[in-house]
Amino acid sequence: MEIRTVPTTPYSDQKPGTSGLRKAVAVFQQPHYLENFVQSIFNTLTDYQGKTLVVGGDGRYYNRTAIQVILKMAAANGFGKVMVGQGGILSTPAVSCLIRKYQAFGGIVLSASHNPGGIHGDFGIKYNVSNGGPAPEKITEAIYAQSKTISSYRILEAGDVDIDRLGTSKLGDMVVEVIDPVTDYAQLMESIFDFERIHELLTNGRFHMKMDAMHAVTGPYAYNILEYRLGAPIGTVINSKPLEDFGGGHPDPNLVYAKELVDILYSDDAPDFGAASDGDGDRNMILGRRFFVTPSDSLAILAHYAQVVPAYREGIKGIARSMPTSQAADRVAQKLGVPCYETPTGWKFFGNLLDADRVTLCGEESFGTGSNHVREKDGLWAILFWLNILAVTQKSVAEIVTNHWATYGRHFYSRHDYEEIPTDRAEDLMANLRANLGQLQGKQFNSRYTVAYADDFSYTDPIDGSVSRNQGIRIGFTDGSRLVYRLSGTGTKGATLRVYLEQYEPDPYKQQQDAQTALKDLIALADTIGQITHCTGRTAPTVIT
Ligand code: VG1
Ligand code: CO
**Does one domain contain both 364 and 313?**
yes
Local structure of residue 134 (DSSP, 8 states): B
**Does one domain contain both 489 and 422?**
yes
Mean pLDDT of 107-131: 96
Mean pLDDT of 133-141: 94
Tell me how many domains the chain contains.
3
pLDDT band at 322 (very low <50, low <70, confident <90, very high): very high
**Does one domain contain both 117 and 237?**
no
Angle at alpha carbon of residue 63, lines to 130 and 374, rounded to 5°: 30
Calculate what percentage of the chain has a pLDDT beyond 70: 100
For residue 493, the model assigns a pLDDT of 83
Residue whose C-alpha is closest to residue 131's, from 79, 91, 96: 96
**Whether the predicted pLDDT of 447 surpasses 90:** no
For residue 206, the model assigns a pLDDT of 96
Domain boundary among 130, 159, 180: 180
Residue 157 CB burial class (10 angstroms; 0-12, 13-18, ≥19): exposed
**Whether the predicted pLDDT of 1 surpasses 80:** no
> Which residue out of 18, 347, 473 has the highest number of ligand 1 atoms within 8 Å of its CB and is therefore the one to mutate?
18
**Whether the predicted pLDDT of 36 surpasses 90:** yes
**Does one domain contain both 414 and 402?**
no
Ligand with minimal distance to 349 CA: 1
**Does one domain contain both 247 and 277?**
yes
Return the CATH number at 518.
Answer: 3.30.310.50
**Whether the predicted pLDDT of 107 surpasses 90:** yes
Nearest residue by C-alpha to atom 11 in ligand 1: 490
**Does one domain contain both 210 and 357?**
yes
**Does one domain contain both 423 and 404?**
no
Q: Give the predicted TM-score (pTM) of the model.
A: 0.95
Contact status, residue 504 vs residue 480, Cβ threshold 8 Å: yes
For residue 488, the model assigns a pLDDT of 92
What is the side-by-side order of every strand in the sheet holding 410-421? 444-445, 449-456, 473-477, 482-487, 495-505, 410-421, 543-544
Task: Give residue 535's domain range.
Answer: 410-544
Q: Give residue ranges with CB within 6 A of ligand 1.
A: 18-19, 113-114, 278, 282-283, 322, 345-347, 364, 366, 368, 488-490, 498
**Does one domain contain both 329 and 224?**
yes
Mean pLDDT of 305-329: 98
Q: How far is the CA of 460 from the centre of ligand 1 (A)?
A: 20
pLDDT band at 293 (very low <50, low <70, confident <90, very high): very high
Mean pLDDT of 295-322: 98
Q: How far is the CA of 340 from the centre of ligand 1 (A)?
A: 21
Q: What is the CA radius of gyration of the chain?
A: 23
Ligand with minimal distance to 367 CA: 1
Residue 30 CB burial class (10 angstroms; 0-12, 13-18, ≥19): exposed
Residue type for 431, please? A
Mean pLDDT of 141-146: 97
**Does one domain contain both 204 and 339?**
yes
> Which residue out of 91, 254, 366 has the highest number of ligand 1 atoms within 8 Å of its CB and is therefore the one to mutate?
366
For residue 492, the model assigns a pLDDT of 80
Q: How far is the CA of 281 from the centre of ligand 1 (A)?
A: 13
Taking the C-alpha atoms of residue 34 and residue 6, their distance in angstroms, rounded to an integer, is: 13
Mean pLDDT of 200-205: 97
**Does one domain contain both 245 and 385?**
yes
Residues with Cβ within 8 Å of 337's Cβ and at least 6 positions away in sequence, in order, are: none
Terminal CA-CA length for the chain: 52
Q: How far is the CA of 345 from the centre of ligand 1 (A)?
A: 7
Task: Give the position, in ligand 1's atom list, of the atom nearest the Cα of 365.
Answer: 9
**Whether the predicted pLDDT of 39 surpasses 80:** yes
Mean pLDDT of 399-407: 97
**Does one domain contain both 197 and 176?**
no
Average pLDDT, the chain: 96
Backbone angles phi, psi at 25, to 5 degrees: -50, -40
Taking the C-alpha atoms of residue 517 and residue 219, their distance in angstroms, rounded to an integer, is: 36
Domain boundary among 368, 392, 408: 408
Cα 125 → chain centroid = 14
Taking the C-alpha atoms of residue 280 and residue 215, their distance in angstroms, rounded to an integer, is: 11
Nearest residue by C-alpha to atom 8 in ligand 1: 366
Nearest residue by C-alpha to atom 10 in ligand 1: 346
Report how far apart, in Å, the C-alpha atoms of 469 and of each of 137, 322, 359 are: 11, 14, 22
For residue 264, the model assigns a pLDDT of 97
For residue 428, the model assigns a pLDDT of 93
Domain boundary among 408, 438, 454: 408
**Does one domain contain both 207 and 123?**
no
For residue 491, the model assigns a pLDDT of 78
What is the side-by-side order of every strand in the sheet holding 291-293? 237-238, 209-212, 273-276, 285-288, 291-293
Tens digit of each residue's pLDDT (9 = 90 or more) over 71-101: 999 999 999 999 999 999 999 999 999 999 9
Task: Give the position, in ligand 1's atom list, of the atom nearest the Cα of 486.
Answer: 16
Return the CATH number at 25.
Answer: 3.40.120.10
For residue 81, the model assigns a pLDDT of 98
Q: How far is the CA of 1 from the centre of ligand 1 (A)?
A: 41
Nearest residue by C-alpha to atom 3 in ligand 1: 346
Mean pLDDT of 25-42: 98
326 in helix, strand or coil?
A: coil
For residue 155, the model assigns a pLDDT of 98
Tens digit of each residue's pLDDT (9 = 90 or more) over 225-257: 999 999 999 999 999 999 999 999 899 999 999
Task: Give the position, in ligand 1's atom list, of the atom nearest the Cα of 489.
Answer: 14
pLDDT band at 286 (very low <50, low <70, confident <90, very high): very high
Catalytic residues: 113
Compare 479 and 88 and report the one with higher pLDDT.
88
Tens digit of each residue's pLDDT (9 = 90 or more) over 408-438: 999 999 999 999 999 999 999 999 999 999 9
Report how far apart, in Å, the C-alpha atoms of 238 and of each of 234, 290, 509 are: 10, 19, 37
**Whether the predicted pLDDT of 53 surpasses 90:** yes
pLDDT band at 105 (very low <50, low <70, confident <90, very high): very high
**Whether the predicted pLDDT of 494 surpasses 90:** no
Task: Give the position, in ligand 1's atom list, of the atom nearest the Cα of 114.
Answer: 19
